[in-house]
Amino acid sequence: MIPTHPIRAVVPCRACLSGEDLDWLGGGRSVSVALSLTTTVEAMPTPAPDRQTVDDWSWEVWAFLRERLPGLGPRPPAVTVRSEAPEASGLSSSTARIVALLRAFTDPSFTGRSVGDDTITQWAYEFEFAVFNGGGMDHLAVVEGGALLLEGREHGLPAVRERLEFPDEWRVLVVDSGTRKDTRHHIRDVRAQLAAGDPALAAYRAVADEASGRVWEALHGRDLPGLGAAMVRAHEAMRDQQRMSTPFLEELRSLALRVVGLPLKLSGAGGGGALVGVCPADAVEETVARLTRALSVSHPQAKVLPTRAAPGARRGSVPAGQGGAEPVEGAADPLPSVSAAAIAPGGRRQRASP
């Protein structure tokens, strides 16, 4: 089947508030929140160019789907991909791209059948596991949306113990360090620790699990100071017991705490990428402006991205040009706007009007 118009899939990224690696180490809790820094894929009613001319995972995802959905043609649709999240930053922009491609390519306009949310999540996990050998926090986070408390498993997707809507009166600030992380090497090293029974890894798991419990308690109680303290505890475990941080990231954390009083935690586990903090919504403009000014003097490559919690992945066929972002005064980057009317209940998906 061939659609008569582009199929658009919009997927949020995610920040890890506590418990990096615990989603696949087993026996520990982690906390994620989906963020409105989105990846958008548009699948066109025309075939893709030659495989050698693109590097967007579309051919690989299409081949993966052809093994599971009989009747798909040999060539994927042409796609355009846009991402608001910085790449290789620990915000799961790669997972968002994979989920968006799966969303668009499994639209009934292409397949003649409907593919459910649970299947999309499982397939995204299987696809990325074959490449990176990691866990499933990211896939659940971007599909389910909101904040998730996860229980790790050594094999397969982690269990969702609880889901919360992130407090609307809070905003998430992402500080992009401008340094790239390397998750593949990190996962290889931690799996070697696990196989060897490394006591340092066991100590990290215990502290990170405890921090995740404190993060979740603070979210439940809408306790912003408590959340900041728990995220600091989670970061210190990453830094001190698993060496996930770097001197440059620690400089950024110290500056943010000194200039605007914002505790920051590394999101993701590859020794670079983005730091995240949470502040009141009514203070976000001043906080972003002051932090941006300070960074421009001492760390000009770093950027401040104000954002908010997001519902889960959504998909639909929409006219080109629809959507947009609203700037925040004093910010270096726009704050994405999310229309609740375009989201199906529960942060799942809804087909927009063509």
Q: What is the pLDDT of residue 331?
A: 28
Domains of the chain: which residue ranges? 7-317+328-335
Give the number of other CB atoms < 10 A from CB of residue 161.
Answer: 11
Q: What angle do CA 236, 242, 243 make, to 5 degrees?
A: 80
- Average pLDDT in the chain: 86
Asked whether residue 347 carries a pLDDT value surpassing 90, the answer given is: no
CB atoms within 10 A of CB 8: 24
Half-sphere exposure of 254 (CA within 13 A, CB side): 9
Residue 49 confidence (pLDDT): 83
pLDDT > 50? residue 110: yes
Q: Is 37 helix (H, G, I), strand (E, B) or coil?
A: strand
pLDDT of residue 182: 73
pLDDT at position 131: 87
pLDDT the model gives residue 1: 64
Q: Is the pLDDT assigned to residue 135 strictly greater than 80?
A: yes
Q: How far apart are CA 183 and CA 99, in angstroms?
A: 18
More confident residue, 176 or 314: 176
Taking residues 307-320, report their average pLDDT: 63
Phi, psi of 23 (to 5 degrees): -70, -25
Question: Which of 147, 160, 275 is closest to 218 using CA atoms?
Answer: 147
pLDDT (average), residues 20-36: 95
Q: Answer yes or no: is pLDDT of 57 > 80.
A: yes
| CATH architecture of the domain with residue range 7-317+328-335 | 2-Layer Sandwich (3.30)
Q: Is the pLDDT score of 327 beyond 80?
A: no
pLDDT in tens, 224-282: 999 999 999 999 999 999 999 999 999 999 999 999 999 999 998 868 899 999 999 99
Q: Cα(160)–Cα(205) distance, rounded to whole angstroms?
A: 18
Instruction: Specify the pLDDT at position 54.
Output: 61
Q: What is the pLDDT of residue 352?
A: 36
Is residue 124 within 8 Å of 99, Cβ to Cβ? Answer: yes
pLDDT in tens, 137-184: 999 999 999 999 999 999 999 999 999 999 999 999 999 999 988 777
Q: Tell whether the model's pLDDT for residue 95 goes beyond 70.
A: yes
pTM flag (> 0.95): no
310 vs 2, higher pLDDT: 310
